Amino acid sequence: MSARETLEPVLTPERIRARVAELAAEIGRDHQGRELLLVGILKGAFIFLSDLARALPAPCRIDFVRLASYGASDQSSGRIELKSPCTFDPAGKTVLVVEDIVDTGLTLDWFLRWLKEQGAAAVKTCALVDKPERRQVPLFLDYVGFQIPRGFLVGYGLDYAERYRSLPGIYEVVFAQD
Ligand code: IMP
């Protein structure tokens, strides 16, 4: 039996663009010219962070981390570590973590703890998509683009087996058996 996948549109590029502009304006208002360190979680957040940073009316520095999660392929195990050495020092800084999707929450929960252990002065979170249905740890997200309860999403940086990241909109992957 082979699985065929089709993509169902969920968010158009226009909707994403408009929401990213709103988020950037809100973050700018909340920080009033104070410098932020934006940290994107690779790979999925690279497009969202690029658009958010360009729309942000506040000074910022930009960096990225790659985190490794061990366990089942479609879900974080909670056993997480930095995949490569960190190239920035969060100590004393206001850090805005930029994430593509928060699903179980295990990845972000681990990273927020890590940033605090490194001495970050304040840590805020911004997720393009909050998918709360499978949440395993309570997590407060400061800025959320869209709440989408379920489904496996691709596009705008999100992948399925490394495909579809470059699509300008967001789609749900629908698997059909034949
Ligand atoms: P969490 O630790 O379960 O919250 O995992 C979040 C990470 O899993 C995200 O940063 C994505 O890389 C990946 N992920 C979760 N849901 C999806 C999805 O619907 N599409 C693509 N990647 C996803």
Q: Contact, 154 vs 5, CB < 8 A?
A: no
Beta carbons of 80 and 66 less than 8 angstroms apart: no
CB 161 within 8 A of CB 175: no
Q: How far apart are CA 106 and CA 137, in angstroms?
A: 7
The pLDDT tens digits for 96-121 are 999 999 999 999 999 999 999 999 99
Both tokens of 157, joined, read 């940086």
Distance CA 49, CA 8 (A): 24
What value does the mean pLDDT of the chain take? Answer: 92
Which among 57, 19, 10 is positioned nearest to 143, based on CA atoms? 19
DSSP state of 166: T
The verdict on the CB of residue 76 being under 6 Å from ligand 1 is: yes
Tokens of 106: 């295990």
- Ligand 1 pocket test: which of 101, 110, 128, 133 has the largest number of ligand atoms within 8 Å of its C-beta? 101
97's CB contacts (< 8 A; 6+ apart) are 39, 41, 108, 111, 112, 115, 123, 124, 125, 126
Rounded CA-CA distance 159/132 in Å is 19
Q: What mean pLDDT do residues 140-158 have?
A: 96
Distance CA 87, CA 72 (A): 28
What pLDDT, in 10s, does the model give residues 41-84? 999 999 999 999 999 998 999 999 999 876 555 556 668 888 88
Average pLDDT in the 142-157 region? 96
CA 34 / ligand 1 centre spacing (Å)? 30
